Each structure stands twice: as C-alpha cells, then as structure tokens.
Amino acid sequence: MTDISPIFPTSVPFFLVLPFVFLLMSFLLATIVSVLQVAKG
C-alpha cells in the first residue's frame, strides 16, 4: 500500500466535517484580525 492517507478519513461524511472546518477557519481569521489590530496600535 503506497497510498497517501487523506487528511480526513473517508468514513467521516463530508457534511459533518465541513461545519467544523468552517468554524475553525472563522476562529483563525478572527485571531489574525485581532493580532493585526493590536499590531497597528
């Protein structure tokens, strides 16, 4: 088996993983914006 395992297991439905990914991206975006706001002063 030389297959590279996917990032998400195929046993997990995509529609169940998508909301979590969206929430994580939103959190990261909010954190980056906050850091930039602080950096600007």
Q: Write the pLDDT tens digit of every residue in 6-30.
A: 665 567 777 788 899 999 999 999 9
Domain residue spans of the chain? 15-41
Spatial CA neighbour of 17 closest among 26, 4, 7:
7
Cα dihedral value 13, 19, 8, 25, nearest 10: 170
- Residue matched to tokens 């297991």: 9
Cβ neighbours of residue 3 closer than 8 Å, sequence gap 6 or more = none
Residue 10, pLDDT score: 65
pTM of structure: 0.55
Q: How many CB atoms lie within 10 A of CB 8?
A: 14
